[in-house]
Amino acid sequence: MAGVVLLCATSCKSKIDKTIDEMLQKMTLEEKARIIVGTGNEGRWVSETSFGDMKNIVPGAAGTTCPIERLDIPFVILSDGPAGVNIDSTRENESGTFYCTHFPIGTVMSSTWNTELVENVGRAIGDEAMHYGVDVVLGPGMNIHRHPLNGRNFEYYSEDPLLTGKTAAAMIRGIQANGVAACPKHFAANNQETNRMGNDVQVSQRALREIYLKGFEIAVREGHPKTLMTSYNKINGISVSERHDLVTEFLRDECGFDGTVMTDWYGGDHPEEQMKAGNDLIMPGQQWQMDSIVNAVNAGRLDIKYVDECVRRILKLVYTSPRNQPGHTYDNNPDLKAHAEITRQSATEGIVLLKNDAQALPIASSVKNIALFGCASYDFIPGGTGSGDVRRAYTVSMLEGLQNAGYEIDPLLSARYDEFVKKSVAENLTKVTARFADMVRIRPDEMPLTESEIAAQVQRADYAIITLGRTCGEYYDRTSSDFVLTDVERAMIENVCRAFHAAGKKVAVVLNIGGVIETASWKNLPDAILCAWQPGQEGGNSVADLLSGKQNPSGKLPMTFPVVLSDIGANANFPVDQTSENVSVASRRVDRGEKNVDFTRYDEGIYVGYRWFDSRQVEVSYPFGYGLSYTTFDYSNMKVKQSGKEIKVTVDITNSGTVDGKEVVQLYITAPGASMDKPAKELKAFAKTSSLKPGKKETVTLVVKTDDLRSFDETSKKWQLEPGTYKVMVASNSRDIRATETIEIK
């Protein structure tokens, strides 16, 4: 079926163009405005009803384009999200279920540094979309991790634009492999949830080009997405969906994007400006937007040619989408079992081993009984909340994952946790005043442990595992208290470590988190630390596969773990603990000129993440690109060959340890900063080896174009290549340089 879809969409292209021309001739202005304004979200967010009753075609989908019955113009279905298809799992008057696979969150995908794996996950997401009749998957989310407290970082990839762009391009290729459209989002600089619909990002051209647009540029050039979503925020005073310089000049003319641009849901204020900018589709659709387009054309404020261009690009999406191919059917029956296996395996490559003293991991084969502490061990978090969530059939907890792996867990202790979790969640539910309470995952407080309880566990268990949980999601930024451990969490780690170490037994901490937390003050306590992120519905099994040694960790951090928030360049210009009524969604704030709420100044410029920490030699808890393995790797024989505009670097990677493993090789470059200030180093290429057996060697090749070494000059508004000596470094992480060479650029 996929082949037919692709074949038809390609070979009938001229036929489709002819059909579009014909439709444009026949459509009235009202019908053109009608198809520009979508439908969907019936009552989910705002009272205004959208058009027609399209919600029952794929219940729970985010929206649809509108059919024009008079001309037999069909529609398409758009559904979230980046971690899997997010639709209702049950339907009125229908038996059966419509579960989707909750794949690992975006941050797990980038933590794999394995674009082949990411493409494979994308393919599974696209396959589920196809089986459920979804034509456009609203993902990947790919905004830069400018600050760890951004509520939606779980959906996004990295603090670095190259890793972001390459990961997004792979996800897009995967989703689109069978004809379903991907939709990279949110273009661009949507790096906080606080007042996201009204916030004005005040950012330099250089930072925009080198950091916030660069990932989208790579994703468009290497992923060829069929659609793309603009962001809610303004950039330098104008809503992104109304900016012709970004949506048309940059995205289309410069990057070659040839798909359909849509707004974020209810994004933007001026439909006629969105038309002129080239933002084709206004989702999910309200009457006033349609009226505004018709009135603007009739009043001569909006040239019909803009409307026609937008309609043309929407019709191209509609006519080439799966559901509108001849003979297309779908069975609502994807292979969820196979996809569960894909999420279990892919997550193991995105989980990052942060500490492993004296080979504390993998757990020794003599260990049978495990003391499992921490509410998140039992109430495991597969993903983040909001549109990036997935209505999955189940979540494998740490308890289940470890039991599946054959370990014994004290039933009394797990019963204690189950009871505590239920009670604490119920209590916390009463405290939720959030406007979208149904969109937030209510977490329990951490359960205090008594000395005697821990002592009892020391007696019966050979090993202790503690899981720390954090949720985050759309609509809200995290708070500074969410970043640090609670007193109960700290006491749990301290007391369990003291008791188990006194008995000569080891302790591992698992981080089940959606974003960076504080680690420096307590990481010396346990023997091992494993950052599992929110690894999807098979999470407990994925983590157990690593703890038991069935799989060897190969993930590396796609962002920096700072010591404290105040070390972060952007910290003074981020809404940390903003208490004003800054709930972001839908409710457009009146601009009160409030710093970090109505406007946010990106004063740190290009110095985001390791670009900041390394350029200012600030100590970090764990650096960008960091991740351990159960084996070790030697780097040797680095060679650099420059021919014309291409620099080819090869390096031999040898598994110098005792178990099979994969290494992520990173290439950083330090450019001369004569005419412009430059970051201490910048990631310019990366590659992951295949699984190497002990003693085996693989020659890794990394290619950099000299164009990729340019910086964006504010004055000339051009990319500039600085002549001089460049340092070329191959590294295991941004602060573990294994070999260095230099090259001269004329």
**Which CA distances in Å does 227 have to 19, 172, 184, 313, 512?**
20, 10, 7, 10, 32
In 3D, which of 195, 194, 196 has the Cα closest to residue 230? 196
C-beta closer to ligand GLC: residue 182 or 466: 182
Q: Does residue 483 interact with ligand GLC by CB under 6 A?
A: no
C-beta closer to ligand GLC: residue 52 or 673: 52
Q: Does residue 342 interact with ligand GLC by CB under 6 A?
A: no
C-beta closer to ligand GLC: residue 61 or 492: 61
In the complex, least distance from residue 186 CB atom to ligand GLC, rounded to whole angstroms? 6
Q: Does residue 602 interact with ligand GLC by CB under 6 A?
A: no
**Ranges within 219-278 binding ligand GLC (CB under 6 A):** 264-265
Binding residues for ligand GLC, rule CB under 6 A, total 7
In 3D, which of 224, 317, 325 has the Cα closest to residue 38? 317
**Which CA distances in Å does 455 have to 412, 459, 501?**
14, 6, 12
In the complex, least distance from residue 16 CB atom to ligand GLC, rounded to whole angstroms? 26
Q: Does residue 62 interact with ligand GLC by CB under 6 A?
A: yes
Q: Does residue 314 interact with ligand GLC by CB under 6 A?
A: no
User: Alpha-carbon distance 404 to 442, whole Å?
Assistant: 27
C-beta closer to ligand GLC: residue 167 or 227: 227
Q: Does residue 103 interact with ligand GLC by CB under 6 A?
A: no
How many Cβ atoms sit within 10 Å of the Cβ of residue 502?
A: 10
264 is catalytic: yes
Alpha helical stretches, state H, 189-335? 205-207, 214-223, 244, 271-277, 287-298, 304-320
In the complex, least distance from residue 452 CB atom to ligand GLC, rounded to whole angstroms? 48
- Is residue 427 left, alpha or beta, with left meaning phi > 0 and alpha meaning psi from -120 to 50? alpha
In the complex, least distance from residue 578 CB atom to ligand GLC, rounded to whole angstroms? 19
Are 433 and 340 within 8 A, CB to CB? no
Phi/psi of residue 79, each to 5°? -140, 145
C-beta closer to ligand GLC: residue 41 or 554: 41
Q: 408-409 and 369-373 as β-strands: parallel, antiparallel, unpaired?
A: parallel
Point out the catalytic residue in the list 80, 264, 462, 545. Answer: 264
Phi/psi of residue 677, each to 5°? -65, 145
User: Which residue type occupies 429?
Assistant: L
Applying CB under 6 A, which of residues 114, 387, 519, 732 lies at the interface with ligand GLC? 387
C-beta closer to ligand GLC: residue 185 or 316: 185
Alpha helical stretches, state H, 105-255? 106-112, 115-131, 161-175, 205-207, 214-223, 244
Q: Does residue 100 interact with ligand GLC by CB under 6 A?
A: no
Q: Does residue 80 interact with ligand GLC by CB under 6 A?
A: yes
Which residue's entry shows tokens 């939709």? 183
In the complex, least distance from residue 130 CB atom to ligand GLC, rounded to whole angstroms? 19
In the complex, least distance from residue 266 CB atom to ligand GLC, rounded to whole angstroms? 7
Q: Does residue 185 interact with ligand GLC by CB under 6 A?
A: yes
C-beta closer to ligand GLC: residue 41 or 734: 41
- Is residue 45 left, alpha or beta, with left meaning phi > 0 and alpha meaning psi from -120 to 50? alpha
In 3D, which of 256, 203, 264, 271 has the Cα closest to residue 231? 264
Are 77 and 39 within 8 A, CB to CB? no
In the complex, least distance from residue 259 CB atom to ligand GLC, rounded to whole angstroms? 16
C-beta closer to ligand GLC: residue 156 or 624: 156
In the complex, least distance from residue 151 CB atom to ligand GLC, rounded to whole angstroms? 11
Applying CB under 6 A, which of residues 35, 36, 58, 138 lies at the interface with ligand GLC? 138
Q: Does residue 681 interact with ligand GLC by CB under 6 A?
A: no
- Residues making contact with ligand GLC (CB under 6 A): 62, 80, 138, 185, 264-265, 387
Active site residues: 264
